[in-house]
Amino acid sequence: MKKLTVLLVAVLMLGASFAASAQAAIQVEGDAYAGIWDKYMWRGFNLSDSRPTVQAGVDLSAGGFTLSTWHNWQLTSSDNLRSGEMNETDIILTYAFDLGDMVSMSVGDIFYSLDFDGAEDTNELFVTATLNTLLSPNLKISWDWDAAEEEGMFYSLDISHSFDLAQWMEKTSLNLGALVSYNQHSDYSVGDFGGWHNYELSASLDYALTDQLTISPIFILSSGISSAAKAVIDTETAGALNLTFTF
């Protein structure tokens, strides 16, 4: 636990120092975060054999562009995974812009550097559209243009809302979300089938320790929808405790 605490602090300090040096040249804002998860779930898939992981990253934004890096460390071993191993690094470049007052758009690319058995590095283009209204409906379309053999797409639609709980719990907000996804033969990342993939329900509490530091317990429930999806993913829950430093 002592080593884990040192790791979390180091990630946050790295993000803060990088931001400070970058701001000397251009106006940069962003965050650095690290969290302990009871498992690593992605699009309904349990990628850590139900073993705990540390997930951490840094987001740097300037002039509509955001450069992000995200990492997953395995904390305990299984038959296929080794403790202490960083088995995934994602590098994401995003450009965001508004189409009037009601619609916000973003386009970008994710490079997945993977160290899982049978997995190879790949790239995925994505575009998102968000309605700036009640529940912030957000549609995301993803296309693996690198390792996938089929010209398939993956779609997700989510809604979310935050509630200020300051009248009951000072400096605390509750975040609720729901997501549904559809797979159109995105064979590398999900599977070579067409149909509804999974749904997710999420809840988190944000407690502001300071103006820049927030701690958040997180809970996610995911389950397959179509028979093709249920053949490859199970109903899963995941929980985390996350620490975020914003600048």
**pTM of the entire structure?**
0.87
Q: Is 6 a residue whose pLDDT tops 50?
A: no
Predicted confidence band at 14 (pLDDT cuts at 50, 70, 90)?
low
Which region among 18-32, 64-78, 87-101, 214-228 has the lowest average model confidence (pLDDT)?
18-32
pLDDT tens digits, residue range 182-201? 999 999 989 999 999 999 99
Q: Is 22 a residue whose pLDDT tops 60?
A: no
**Whether 233 contacts 195, CB under 8 Å:** no
Domain boundaries, the chain: 2-246
pLDDT tens digits, residue range 96-107? 999 999 999 999
8/247: higher pLDDT: 247
Q: Is 172 a residue whose pLDDT tops 60?
A: yes
Q: Give residue 1's pLDDT.
A: 46
Q: Which fold has domain 2-246?
A: Porin (2.40.160)
| β-bridge pairing 122-131 and 103-114 | antiparallel
Q: Which amino acid is it at 89?
A: T
Q: CA-to-CA distance for 147 and 22, rounded, in angstroms? A: 34
Q: Is 89 a residue whose pLDDT tops 90?
A: yes
Q: CA-to-CA distance for 23 and 224, rounded, in angstroms? A: 44
pLDDT tens digits, residue range 142-170? 999 999 988 899 999 999 999 999 888 88
Whole-number average pLDDT of the chain: 92
Q: Give residue 169's pLDDT.
A: 86
Percent of the chain whose predicted confidence (pLDDT) is above 90? 83
* Sole residue written with tokens 């490859």: 232
